[in-house]
């Protein structure tokens, strides 16, 4: 199977490329310099020349607060470009794997894990644009994997955001900052390394569809930060706060733990608990000399 990987130097893209290469997959890495997904001609030229069996798209505009001000750009990258990719995939006969987010849910009406059957209710421009991207693919294609992810962290760091939450917390602690973290938004922190392994398993099944794909368990961002500091042996001054007091521009889900029901139905075991994955990540950082 030949795979074209868009966003190969991003946080998730880096771990997908590494894991799939280790598994001897025929995977072509594409950075934004190789393919700009907002450029229809570039998408068409690059993908028609490769004719992959599967296109994996990790590219997105996902700086959540910025999306509130840059609505047109949110829809250009997260919807219009996704439509282009879906149309090119139709032409090349490729399947499309695309990533969405827990932010398609609001978490104000429900406090138990969301399955793929739950009705989305995004509360931000980012969430709305990602949901529109999902629907566009489902409207145009049959051969797709749409995977909703949550709270990603990986050693490459999020290129779009310039950091990931784990690295940001450790940086603030090392700088001796007083740290305030919201305690009223519940999620599942998820390792990009674990995600890449499950994506590989999913592709082996050939079962297209919509999937929730996260580590298991759930916690608030405050609890996530406390666990990072415990594992990293740091002891900063950290205070829980509320979303209202924190005052971020975009509203975030109050609760967005995802039940990976469709993954289990495809015969794939649940991912490990988020605390185990985080412990491995913190140990690997130490080995990397960070
Ligand atoms: N990060 C999270 O916590 C999180 C949570 C849930 C879902 N997700 C979803 O997971 C996916 C991957 O996230 P990530 O954290 O790996 O993101 P990332 O580190 O920002 O990586 C995105 C990659 O896409 C490339 N890219 C961005 N815009 C592009 C464009 N217009 N054309 C071509 N390439 C472009 C980036 O290249 P440049 O850096 O050169 O622009 C980068 O290589 C996204 O769909 C995101 O919405 C993320």
Per-residue pLDDT of the chain (290 residues; tens, 9 = 90+): 999 999 999 999 999 999 999 999 999 999 999 999 999 999 999 999 999 999 999 999 999 999 999 999 999 999 999 999 999 999 999 999 999 999 999 988 889 999 999 999 999 999 999 999 999 999 999 999 999 999 999 999 876 667 899 999 999 999 999 999 999 999 999 999 999 999 999 999 999 999 999 999 999 999 999 999 999 999 999 999 999 999 999 999 999 999 999 999 999 999 999 999 999 999 999 888 88
Q: Which of 126, 145, 153, 222 is catalytic?
A: 126
pLDDT of residue 160: 63
Does 127 contact ligand 1 (Cβ within 6 A)?
no
Closest CA to 203 of 20, 70, 79, 62: 20
Task: Tell me if residue 126 is catalytic.
Answer: yes
- Ligand 1 centroid distance, CA of 237 (Å): 31
Does 7 contact ligand 1 (Cβ within 6 A)?
yes
pLDDT of residue 290: 83
Minimal-distance CA residue to ligand 1 atom 26: 59
pLDDT digits (tens, 9 = 90+) for 34-80: 999 999 999 999 999 999 999 999 999 999 999 999 999 999 999 99
Q: Residue 45 and residue 245: Cα distance in Å, rounded?
A: 48
- Ligand 1 centroid distance, CA of 159 (Å): 7
Does 36 contact ligand 1 (Cβ within 6 A)?
yes
Question: Which atom of ligand 1 approaches the CA of 59 most closely?
Answer: 24
Q: What is the pTM of this model?
A: 0.97
- Ligand 1 centroid distance, CA of 160 (Å): 6
């Amino acid at each position: 199977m030949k795979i074209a990987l868009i966003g190969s130097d991003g946080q998730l893209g880096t771990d997908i490329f590494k894991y799939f290469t280790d598994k001897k997959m025929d995977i072509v890495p594409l950075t934004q310099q190789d393919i700009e997904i907002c450029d229809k001609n570039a998408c068409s030229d690059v993908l028609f020349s490769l004719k992959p069996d599967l296109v994996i798209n990790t590219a997105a505009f996902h700086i959540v607060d910025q999306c509130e001000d840059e609505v047109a750009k949110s829809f250009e990258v997260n919807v219009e470009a996704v439509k282009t990719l879906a149309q090119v995939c139709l032409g090349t006969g490729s399947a499309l794997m695309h990533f969405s987010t827990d932010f398609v849910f609001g978490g104000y009406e429900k406090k138990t894990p969301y399955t793929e059957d739950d009705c989305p209710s995004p509360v931000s421009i980012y969430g709305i644009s990602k949901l529109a991207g999902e629907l566009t693919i489902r409207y145009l294609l049959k051969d797709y994997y749409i995977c909703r992810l949550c709270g990603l962290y990986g050693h490459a760091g999020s290129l779009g955001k310039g950091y990931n939450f784990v690295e940001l917390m450790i940086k603030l602690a090392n700088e001796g900052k007083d740290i305030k973290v919201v305690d009223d938004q519940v999620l599942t922190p998820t390792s990009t390394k674990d995600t890449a392994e499950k994506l590989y398993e999913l592709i082996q099944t050939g079962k297209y569809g919509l999937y929730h794909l996260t580590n298991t368990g759930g916690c608030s961002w405050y609890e996530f930060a406390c666990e990072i500091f415990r594992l990293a042996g740091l002891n900063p001054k950290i205070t829980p706060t509320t979303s209202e007091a924190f005052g971020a521009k975009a509203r975030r889900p109050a609760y967005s733990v995802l039940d990976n029901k469709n993954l289990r139905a495809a015969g794939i075991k649940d991912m490990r608990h988020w605390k185990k994955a985080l412990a491995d990540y913190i140990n690997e950082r130490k080995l990397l000399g960070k």
